[in-house]
Structure 1
Amino acid sequence: MKKIIYVFLVVILLPLLLFLIYLKVDVNAKIKKNNLINETYKYLEKYYYKNLDTNSLLTNLLSGLNNKYVGYLESGNKKYNHEYRLGFYFHYDYERFVFTVDFVIKNSEAYKKGIKPNDMIIEIDNNKIIDIGPYKAVKLLDSKEIVELTIIRKELDTPRKIILNKKYNTIPTAVFTKFNFNEENIGYIKINYFEQGNTVKEVSNILQEITLKKVKYLIIDLRYNLGGDFDEGLKVLSYFTDKKILGKIIYKNQSKIIYRESIPFFNNLNNIKKIILVNKFTVSTAEFFTQFFKENKLATVVGEKTYGKSELIGYFNLENGGTVFFPIGYFVSEKGKNISKTGIYPDIYVDDPNFGIFLDSKNLENDTVIKKALDFIFEYEKNKQYF
């Protein structure tokens, strides 16, 4: 009997006791980590000589993760496609405390008013960005239909004020035109971004039009496409393929297969030679789209190396109305390739010197990257037996 009790204590109770001790240590360690943050906050709140700005504290706390896809949005400051409303893309320069223009959308209101890449925005409606900070500055840009910007430029002697009216910058998510090259019908689709509920409808109408116009070659332009809604991108991609599995999403503790959306497949597109145009501003959903075409040899990719972002962003709403955003996972291609930080290398490399998005069909042949695509088509027609 004593032997049985001894075995019971050694075999069952001892491991259980050790596990409980480990569990307690692990829980205490987590509590200690949380207490460090709580303790710091309480001391700051009690002794800091200024009024404690919780929004700034949270912003800087998250910046400590050193991940550009982690951040905090104050109450009422949600993420919009404000670049398309304004007519240009920009980033915050932490050294100069200004918004620096990355590129300007061609034929937009900003383009017509003379805003150029590398312009530095120092004020919004006479509010200095250095005083109000980047988050409040973006909120100010989003909240008004008409905004006054003060910009500086190297060749300008004095700051220049520009008034922008956002209503003139309503940009479709996708546009289409057809032109003739060497007696061949060339279709051109520009997908500006993937917007939930809109892009799939616009692309569907375009693909039906392509069927009627007997297009032989199709150029899909994804330059300056910063992504947008991932599910919308999957729906658009499903128009071009009948494959059931498109890729996979990797989460922290699990993975999920990305299946083709249950929408019509335009099988007539199989007979059309496709070319995808990309550059360093082709990002996220647009990259998943491109990688699928490249891996499955559905298109020839022409342009620059893409940005390299596979992270999918999640949101957490706080009691104060603010939102914390952070990566919840990342996508990989059907063959398991993760393009994060590496991007996608095109089949045919060509520098893209043009800043802007082509919103009309004029002079497409003068675009450097499109000219390269047309040269490829010409060579293909001349030597198609070798392709």
Structure 2
Amino acid sequence: MKKKNFLALVILSVAVVLSSWLLAGAITAKDVNRALEPFYQSLSYIINAYYEKDKIDLNKLIDSAIDGLVKGLGDDFSYYENPEGTEEKQIEMEGEYGGLGIEVTYDSEYKAVKVVAPMYGTPAWRAGLQSGDLIVEIDGQPVREMTYMQAVRKLRGTPGTSVKIKVIRQGEPEPLIFEIVREVIRIIPVKYAFVETSKGRVGYILITRFAAKTFDETKQALDELFSKGIKGLIIDLRDNPGGYLSSVIDVASLFVDKGIIVKTKNAFGIEEVYESTGNNYPNAPIVVLVNNGSASASEILTAALKENNIAKIVGRKTFGKGSVQTAFPLSNGGTLYLTTTHYLTPNGKDIHRIGIEPDVEVEQITEPRRPTAVDYTKKTVEIDMNDPFIVKGLEVLLEMIK
């Protein structure tokens, strides 16, 4: 296809999409066409007047344009992934990959990759990366000179190779340097254990993210725990960055017998209510452990158990990601992840950028949890009984057990 024909097709496609979407909006198609004129003019000048116009990669130009368009929203959670990035996203949620084991987003203010949470037991977790860390340099190259997905790809790589990153952490006077060896990251979203106490055996479930298999694995863990006669349960959602909305609704239904799990409100003000589908498990006292790395779907579960008076929340205030992104597939194979909805707690609270306060607070821990405590490829886990969150969680749980 000739470049001039391509430009005409782009303009026509935009016009068709806008005419169908903007009928109900405050911004008219005429307003948008007027605003886009400088873009079309710039693209035309580039195609026709650029000195090395024969070397122009139109796909790269459009990728950069879409990326810049989304970043202009100033929303850290809306982003564009090109076709390669879309494929990697699928790998991350469904399979395994070589990398560090961190959930990240783009921080538009600092032009850095922001750590939402390190996955439990992974190289990033063992190295001591923390929620809120800003990755500003990867192998000597400033992140501000890369696109978001270029930075993500540089963090990933062949297992056994190392990557050096520079991190800015709140409260630290100087940047921190980490050199981390990549590993194959296998996503094992649910782990469990037993703890013998003065009031009998209690169960422990660690949920690291809400992926496609999380519901089935949580159910399997609960079956095993209740078959051993547990008197209470600790659910550990620390550093859980979230995941699929459908997954957390299913998981929450395992604990909420009846009632609202979450509400969503879209850009048109339309609310949807998601209620529990019920379960056959006995009611037992529950404590939920959270910290500032507990985000999104993990906050949905936390709020559902808290506001339905099913659990007490122990730990630190959660991350505060109350927005839901819809994935819009694009004709080039890329995907636009756009914030289209905010979720509300059962009581109607919007916790976006606010977070959820715990019922019982645990003093802030400066050191990361012990790196020797886990093998993240197993479904069972050894509990660090010196972990202050575990100590406080057990204390609260034992008070709840009759």
- The TM-score by the shorter chain falls in which range? 0.7 to 0.9
Cα distance change on mapping 1:365 and 1:236 into 2, 3 Å:
same
Cα distance change on mapping 1:33 and 1:105 into 2, 3 Å:
closer
Matches within 5 A, 1:185-196: 185-196=201-212
Q: Does 1:235 align with 2:250?
A: yes
Cα distance change on mapping 1:76 and 1:308 into 2, 3 Å:
same
Q: Between 44-53 and 170-179, report the one with greater CA deviation.
A: 44-53
Structure 2 residue aligned with 1:12: none
Q: Between 206-215 and 136-145, report the one with greater CA deviation.
A: 136-145
What CA distance in whole angstroms lies between the structure 1 residues aligned with 2:308 and 2:128? 40
Structure 1 residue aligned with 2:280: 266
Q: Between 343-352 and 93-102, report the one with greater CA deviation.
A: 93-102
Structure 1 contact 99–122 (Cα < 8 Å) conserved:
no
Structure 2 residue aligned with 1:136: 150
Structure 1 residue aligned with 2:385: 365
Q: Between 133-142 and 245-254, report the one with greater CA deviation.
A: 133-142
Cα distance change on mapping 1:206 and 1:188 into 2, 3 Å:
same
Matches within 5 A, 1:291-306: 291-306=303-318
Deviations 1:37-92 (A, max 9, x none): 43344345445667583323332222111111222112211233589952345566
What CA distance in whole angstroms lies between the structure 2 residues aligned with 1:324 and 1:303? 35
Offset at residue 130 of structure 1 (A): 6.2
- AA in 2 matched with 1:35: E
SS class of match (1:178): strand
What CA distance in whole angstroms lies between the structure 2 residues aligned with 1:277 and 1:195? 19
Matches within 5 A, 1:93-172: 104-105=118-119, 107-110=121-124, 114=127, 122-123=137-138, 132-142=146-156, 144-151=158-165, 162-166=180-184, 169-172=185-188
Cα distance change on mapping 1:307 and 1:83 into 2, 3 Å:
farther
Structure 2 residue aligned with 1:5: none
Structure 2 residue aligned with 1:327: 339
Structure 1 contact 309–343 (Cα < 8 Å) conserved:
yes
Deviations 1:253-306 (A, max 9, x none): 222221334xx60341x1x11101111111111111111111111000111111
What CA distance in whole angstroms lies between the structure 2 residues aligned with 1:147 and 1:93? 26
Cα distance change on mapping 1:341 and 1:111 into 2, 3 Å:
closer
Offset at residue 103 of structure 1 (A): 6.2
What CA distance in whole angstroms lies between the structure 2 residues aligned with 1:106 and 1:329? 28
Cα distance change on mapping 1:217 and 1:242 into 2, 3 Å:
closer
Q: 1:290 aligns with which of 276, 282, 302?
A: 302
Q: 1:208 aligns with which of 223, 228, 237?
A: 223
Structure 2 contact 202–231 (Cα < 8 Å) conserved:
yes
Q: Between 42-51 and 252-261, report the one with greater CA deviation.
A: 42-51
- AA in 1 matched with 2:356: I
Structure 1 residue aligned with 2:348: 336
- AA in 1 matched with 2:162: E
- AA in 2 matched with 1:282: S
RMSD: 3.7
Structure 2 residue aligned with 1:281: 293
What CA distance in whole angstroms lies between the structure 2 residues aligned with 1:75 and 1:376? 48
Name which one, 1 or 2, has greater alpha-carbon Rg.
Answer: 1
| Residues matched between the structures, number | 350
TM-score scaled to structure 2, two decimals? 0.74
SS class of match (2:85): coil
SS class of match (1:336): coil
Cα distance change on mapping 1:321 and 1:308 into 2, 3 Å:
same
Offset at residue 176 of structure 1 (A): 0.6
Structure 1 contact 224–279 (Cα < 8 Å) conserved:
yes
Cα distance change on mapping 1:374 and 1:205 into 2, 3 Å:
same
Q: 1:87 aligns with which of 93, 98, 101?
A: 101
Structure 2 residue aligned with 1:56: 64
What CA distance in whole angstroms lies between the structure 1 residues aligned with 2:108 and 2:250? 38
What CA distance in whole angstroms lies between the structure 2 residues aligned with 1:279 and 1:135? 27
Q: 1:346 aligns with which of 344, 358, 362?
A: 358
Identify unmatched segments of 5+ residues in structure 2.
1-24, 376-380
Structure 2 residue aligned with 1:76: 84
Offset at residue 29 of structure 1 (A): 3.0
Cα distance change on mapping 1:85 and 1:229 into 2, 3 Å:
farther
What CA distance in whole angstroms lies between the structure 2 residues aligned with 1:251 and 1:152? 38
SS class of match (1:365): coil
Structure 1 contact 240–266 (Cα < 8 Å) conserved:
no
Q: 1:32 aligns with which of 31, 34, 37?
A: 34
